[in-house]
């Protein structure tokens, strides 16, 4: 087999990942923030997924937060420097492209919790779903509770604050609908 420069190495296992299907490539410096003793499918990675350099997967304390998970579907690519929060639940479909330095948040901090210090207010959780064939452009941020529809495109450096319809192209801060992809004018 010839060497391909720039691709992460193929792996059969990775510490902290519960389910790792065949053909995955994971850079050695991918890190996880996970503690607690819940096992099973908290973090699952499908066939032929690539996780590039400096990706961070976060699920927190899985013993007390039973909604925490990250599931990444077959043939998806998570490019360099991404932060993926699964504390509120994160589902990434099949053949999803996550550009470099994307931040996906499924958790946050209550700002109206009564305490003057945000630190003392409760954490908030809301799942994120990115459906099959979508592309999240480099440097984008996806906020808690958002669903990005099948085949949708998020322009680079966008901040996604609300759901994105299937096959839509959105961009900006906050991300706004621009149009549907050619051949998908009705979003189907």
| Separation CA 168–CA 20 (nearest Å) | 31
Mark whether 109 is an active-site residue: yes
As beta bridge partners, residue 176 has 171
> Which of these, 175, 166, 110, 119, lies nearest to 142 by C-alpha position?
175
Annotated active-site residue in 101, 109, 112, 184? 109
Could you tell me where the DSSP H helices lie in the chain?
none
Q: Does residue 71 contact residue 88 with C-beta atoms inside 8 Å? A: no
Q: What is the DSSP letter of 52?
A: -
Residues recognised as catalytic: 109
């Amino acid at each position: 087999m010839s060497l391909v420069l720039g691709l992460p190495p193929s792996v059969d296992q990775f510490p902290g990942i519960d389910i790792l299907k065949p053909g995955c490539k994971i850079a050695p410096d991918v890190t996880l923030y996970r503690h607690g003793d819940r096992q099973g499918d908290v973090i699952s990675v499908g066939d032929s997924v690539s996780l590039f350099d400096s990706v961070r997967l976060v699920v927190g304390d899985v013993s007390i937060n039973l909604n925490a998970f990250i599931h990444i579907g077959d043939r998806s690519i998570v490019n360099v420097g991404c932060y993926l929060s699964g504390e509120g639940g994160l589902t990434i479909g099949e053949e999803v492209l996550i550009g470099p330095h994307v931040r996906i948040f499924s958790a946050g901090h209550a700002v109206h919790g009564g305490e003057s210090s945000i630190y003392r207010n409760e954490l908030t959780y809301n799942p994120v779903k990115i459906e099959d064939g979508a592309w999240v452009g480099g440097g984008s941020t996806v906020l808690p509770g958002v669903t990005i529809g099948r085949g949708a495109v998020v322009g680079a450096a966008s901040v996604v604050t609300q759901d994105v319809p299937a096959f839509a192209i959105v961009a900006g801060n906050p991300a706004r609908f621009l149009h549907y992809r050619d051949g998908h004018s009705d979003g189907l």
